[in-house]
Structures are given as C-alpha cells and as structure tokens.
Chains A and B, each alone.
Chain A
Amino acid sequence: MKHLKHLGLLLATLFLAWRGELVVPGAGQLAIYLGGILGIFFLIATVEVLLPPERVAHLLGRDTGLRGILSALFIGSTMVGGAPMLLPAARLLRKRGAGAMNVTLVVGGAGVVRLSLLFFEARSLGLPATLLRLSVTLGFLLITAYLVERWNLLNR
C-alpha cells in the first residue's frame, strides 16, 4: 500500500513537471541534485551500518546531561549541507538511542551555532551583533529542546 502511494506521488510529480504546470529547471540540474542526494544517503547508510549504538547512547543518550548538550551542539555546528542531509542524520541518531533534547539541539543547532554561519555573520555584521543574536537564539533553542523532551513531542 505504501509502495503504491509512493509510486502514485512520484508519477503525479513527474506528470505535472512534464506538463509544465510546475516550473522546473533543466534535467542537468535534476541529475546533479539526485547525484548529491545519492551521495548523502550513501554516507548516512555507511554511518548507520558502522556506528555502534553504544557510542550514540554514551554521547547523546537521554540522561547524559551537559555532555549530551555539548556534543549535540558540536555536531550541529559542524554540520554541512542543507535539510536533506540534516534530517536523515537526525532520524538516524534518534533511532540509535539519542535523547529527544539532544536531537532537537542537533537540528536547531545547525541553524543557530553552525560555524560557517557564525563566521560569515561575524565578518559582515561584526562580533558584538553576532554574540547578541547568538545569546537570544541559543536561549530559545535550549528552551525548545527542554520542552520537546518534557512534552514528549519527538517519537522514536
């Protein structure tokens, strides 16, 4: 049933693109995009097969406290690529036993403490503005993560 749904959605998308109802760039760009997606999923599958679950539980498990928070923020800040890279990685961490709070910190941290972001912001807007913005957004991110854990918003 699920397969049928996927096939139907895919065919509908391709049909709309073919009819020109949806504006899509050329096939070359689609090939580049799909190639990148394949590479991303190959990396994620490699990590999934080779990464021992105990390692994840030790670093990012539910009751790791400050160690979990710091490692989650570190992973978020060194994350490369956009949402197609970030979200499968976050689900992988969750399935391997990372706590809801730490998964939230990884996903949100990629938009808050990502190093490339901070670097460009400090270079063009100045360090004081960057630190002021960072303190506000990091506070909100920590509150979000706490509430996600507390209200159990992230299922396994």
Chain B
Amino acid sequence: MRKEAPVDTLLKILRRTAEQVYDALVYLLAFWILYSVVTLHLDLEVVRGVLAGTTSSLGAILTGSVTILPAYVAFPMVKNLSGLGLPTAVAAGFSTSLMMVNLLTLPLEVHYLGARFALFRNAMALLAAFATALVFGVFS
C-alpha cells in the first residue's frame, strides 16, 4: 500500500472534523441552551437548599439526575451537608444519580448511540441510584 503524504492525512482529519461538527452542531447547541437554562434555575444554592430540606431519597435522586456538577464541587458539598445532618441514604442516592444519570445529555446520547440504548442505560442507572440509596440506608 502506498504511504500517504502527511498533508493528505491532515486534510482528511480536517474534513472529518468539519463533517462531525456539522453533524452534531444542532444537538450540541440544544444541549448548551438546555444546560444554561437549567443551571440558571438550579444553581448550587438551590441544589443545596433542596438537599438540606429533603429526607426522601426520591427527591435527591431526581435532583441529581437533572443536575450537572463537576466532581470537585459535588462531593465536598455532599460531605458538608452530611455534617449538617443529611441522611446517608439521601447523600448516596444524590451522588450516584448525579454521576450516572444524565437527562440533559439524553438527546445527545440518543443522537450518537440510539434511543433504545440511551433510555435503557439511563433507566438502569436510575435503578442503580435507588439500590445505592437502599444499601446505604441499610448499612448505616
């Protein structure tokens, strides 16, 4: 096989980049707008308030699945709230669903990997969050 010139490879890469960006741009913009709207109404203080006011794992799991927080913000906050008397089951359910379930990126996931896969994976992740809350509730 003839070896390609580096310039050709680079051109191929740039063409693939443009194709992929064009393919996904609408979904990425939609995700960005969704994310902006949600973070505007559901910022860190609101999440804190919801978690501090709830004693049910269900509310915490639902909050966790629509929120996107980086790990270095989320876990110190959960620890802080645990010190203030948040039940362990609620904290575990929140952090699990925060990391595994992602309703905001669901359109993106449907676009990339198919609706059946995305829905099934998120449903199983929700179940996992409930199971974690149950396990932590039993063991602590």
Contact = CB atoms under 8 A, between A and B. Distances in A.
Judged by DSSP, the binding face of B is helix
Interface size class of A (residues with CB under 8 A): 35 or more
Judged by DSSP, the binding face of A is helix
A137 B113 contact: no
B63 interface: no
A42 B13 contact: yes
A13 to B, nearest CB: 5
B50 interface: no
Interface string B83-104: 0000010011001100110100
Interface string A86-130: 011011001000000001100110011010110011011100010
A153 B100 contact: no
Contacts of B135: 132, 136
A103 B17 CA distance: 22
Given A107-B121, A124-B78, A116 B25 contact: no
Contacts of A133: 92, 95-96, 132, 136
A13 B9 CA distance: 34
A33 interface: yes
A89 B13 CA distance: 15
A41 B15 CA distance: 11
B41 to A, nearest CB: 9
Nearest to B131: A136
Interface of B: 9, 12-14, 16-17, 20-22, 24-26, 28-33, 36-37, 40, 68, 71-72, 74-76, 78-79, 82, 88, 91-92, 95-96, 99-100, 102, 105, 108-109, 111-114, 116-117, 120-121, 124-125, 127-128, 131-132, 135-136, 139
